[in-house]
Amino acid sequence: MGFAVTASAPSGKPSLMTPTEGFSFRRGATPKWRPHWENRIPGGAFFALRHSSSWGRVAGLKESESFLGKRLTLLLRNKMLMLMLGGAIGTYARYWLSRWFGGQPWAQSFPYGTLVINVTGSFILGVAAVFILERLPPEHQDLYLLIGTGFCGGYTTFSTFEWETLKLVRDGSWLYAFANVFGSVFAGFLGVLLGVIVAELIFILMLSAKR
């Protein structure tokens, strides 16, 4: 069923429209004036024409985000970069803790900083080994380069431990030297053991929560 409605353009000037070109409306709806050239373009084509610029900007933004995400993923997959980043963070953490312990009056007679660093590093290494090497899928095991090899490699300091033990022996502090060796080795082993236990408990709780 057709409708024949004559009208002029909103500007009041004579229109070159055919009787049904100037209005586009459904039965029972208020007529809405549209320029006559819109009526000569199919609705979908006109919608695409009118919104092509905005949709183009959105599509371009999504493509840019996708590109950046892919580049970030490639960077994180770069083994050398992961080693460097983890090592830099671990080295700075060791430096900060060593300076803090070195500034404490009660830590002047014993290398508490090195002991704490080695024990906590052993704990972190135990957690990382269980989570990354034993629980995560093989495609995520490169994260161990970031945490286990990079961070813990830069954070813990076995050579400094040996040097400080030698200085205690040269100064005649045999008791402190023995305590340093025993503490670093035994407490470091306990740190790794505790990290493994904590990681296993977390996975058990996660599995029980899913059930």
Token duo for residue 42: 């199919």
Q: Where are the domains of the chain?
A: 78-210
What pLDDT is attached to residue 75?
A: 63
Look at residue 6 in the predicted model and tell me its pLDDT. Answer: 43
For residue 21, what is the DSSP state? T
Q: Say which DSSP state 5 is in.
A: -
Pick from 199, 161, 167, 203: nearest CA to 182 = 161
DSSP code at position 24: E
Give the strand pairing for 32-33 and 23-24.
antiparallel
Measure Cα distances from 98 to 5, 45, 71, 102, 112 in Å.
Answer: 88, 69, 36, 6, 9
Closest CA to 6 of 46, 45, 41, 33: 33
pLDDT in tens, the chain (211 residues): 444 444 444 555 444 444 444 444 455 555 544 554 444 545 544 444 444 455 455 555 556 556 666 666 666 668 888 899 999 999 999 999 999 999 999 988 888 998 899 889 889 988 888 888 888 888 888 888 999 889 999 998 787 788 888 889 988 989 999 998 988 889 889 999 999 999 889 888 888 888 7
Look up residue 132 and give its DSSP letter: I
